[in-house]
Amino acid sequence: MSQNATRSRTVVGRAFLELFRIVAIAGVIAGIGSATGYINLSREPQVQAAAPDGATPVAAGGIVPLEPILVNLTGEAPQGFLRASLSIMFAKPAHAEQVQASAIDRARLRATVVEVLAGRTAASVASPEGRDDLKRVLRERVGSTLPHAVIADVLFTDFVVQY
């Protein structure tokens, strides 16, 4: 055999070996992906209570999320606006389910939150202390609006103040 033929066999052998390595690595990656998918799909789904007529489902811990709220802030010009997304955490999941089941309670809850937020100035809600005070006032006002439900906390998931 000639030296060129030996070199070409060596090059072909190396190329085949390199191709084999790439295929083996791709197989390992595919196997890991399949195993991860199987594990994620075999987990138990998170428990949620059934929601009436297209309402947002109640989370397992007694949390009722509200749609994002946009209000004009009071005060000297320029007034600005506040966009907030929040959830109300109830002391008992049954309280959250009761509020979610009643269209009147949901409307009262949202109206109370809008009223409290719209009565604030941009300066009063811009600081962490102002947000803490706002949460306290919301707990008190929502608690008085819905006396059958005990409010555990108010959770802001989005809070933007524009001056």
pLDDT digits (tens, 9 = 90+) for 93-131: 999 999 999 999 999 999 999 999 988 888 888 889 999
Q: Which residues of 80-95 are buried (b: 16+ CB within 10 A; e: fewer)?
A: bbbebebbbbbeebeb
Q: What is the mean pLDDT of residues 47-57?
A: 47
Q: How far is CA 54 from the centre of its chain?
A: 19
Tell which residue, 51, 46, 83, 58, has the closest CA to residue 149: 58
Q: Does the pLDDT value for residue 1 go beyond 80?
A: no
